[in-house]
Amino acid sequence: MPAYKRILLKLSGEALMGDDAFGINRSTIVRIVEEVAEVTRLGVEVAVVIGGGNIFRGVAGGSVGMDRATADYMGMLATVMNSLALGDAFEKVGVKARVMSAIAIDQVVEPYVRPKALQYLEEGKVVVFAAGTGNPFFTTDTAAALRGAEIGAAIVLKATKVDGIYTADPKKDPAATLYSSISFDEAITRQLEVMDATAFALCRDQKLPIKVFSIFKPGALRRVVMGADEGTLVHV
């Protein structure tokens, strides 16, 4: 039996790039979607929040000197593009998915309404939350913490390129060791950059644990939802 009935999966936009400089690598998105599809077949209810860095990276040069709020709204639109791509990829592998946006784009995607999102999850659909929180100055990490709390997720799964949180950058320090678990207070004090402090604080206050793991390790997502010793657990 899965260890978690309902999860919030946080993906970075960069996770979709594969080896490309920016944009969406089709084989990469298909592989990630297939990993998620596998856990849905176990009966796990899955919601997803994705960043927009892979899309926004292509226009980042033009954002230099731009008003922060304007740049953040552009980033939200980038997450909508990624969310639509994810939703389409889920449908292609036979998984029903719904994309819900925190900003109104009714002709493209339905608005985020909490009771509707809960209904979709209970029906076994994957729900992809687009446009972050709908507000500038808040990251998609914070959006993941917020949506995770709102839908009653058992855990937030932060999918990264590394297999957890290390004492130092493992690429720069061969002696760096992996934390199997760490408290929210220690993560905030140490200024660990795996998630922003606002997201850590929100999850801490809601007693919502975070698991940091590598989405690029085959089967890692399944192992996490089954309760295996994978990645780093951030807890109260």
Measured from the Cβ of residue 219, the count of other Cβ atoms closer than 10 Å reads: 12
- The verdict on whether residue 52 carries a ligand-binding annotation is yes
Give the integer Cα–Cα distance in Å for 204 and 189.
13
- The verdict on whether residue 135 carries a ligand-binding annotation is yes
- The verdict on whether residue 133 carries a ligand-binding annotation is yes
- The verdict on whether residue 190 carries a ligand-binding annotation is no
- The verdict on whether residue 137 carries a ligand-binding annotation is yes
Question: Which ranges of 93-219 would DSSP assign to H, the alpha helix?
Answer: 114-122, 140-150, 184-189, 197-205
In three-state secondary structure terms, 213 is strand
- The verdict on whether residue 166 carries a ligand-binding annotation is yes
Collect all residues with Cβ–Cβ distance below 8 Å to 205 and sequence separation of at least 6. Answer: none
Collect all residues with Cβ–Cβ distance below 8 Å to 62 and sequence separation of at least 6. Answer: none
- The verdict on whether residue 138 carries a ligand-binding annotation is yes
In Å, how far are 15, 57, 97, 197, 216 from 23, measured between CA atoms? Answer: 10, 8, 21, 27, 18
- The verdict on whether residue 12 carries a ligand-binding annotation is yes
Structure tokens at 57: 């990276």
- The verdict on whether residue 139 carries a ligand-binding annotation is yes
- The verdict on whether residue 134 carries a ligand-binding annotation is yes
- The verdict on whether residue 72 carries a ligand-binding annotation is yes
Q: Answer whether 46's CB lies under 8 Å from 144's CB.
A: no
- The verdict on whether residue 214 carries a ligand-binding annotation is no
- The verdict on whether residue 200 carries a ligand-binding annotation is no
Q: Which of 100, 144, 134 is nearest to 118 (CA)?
A: 100
Pick out the residues of the known binding site for ATP: 10-13, 53, 57, 160, 166, 169
Query: Residue ranges for the binding site?
Result: 10-13, 52-53, 57, 72, 133-140, 160, 166, 169
Binding residues for UMP: 52, 72, 133-140
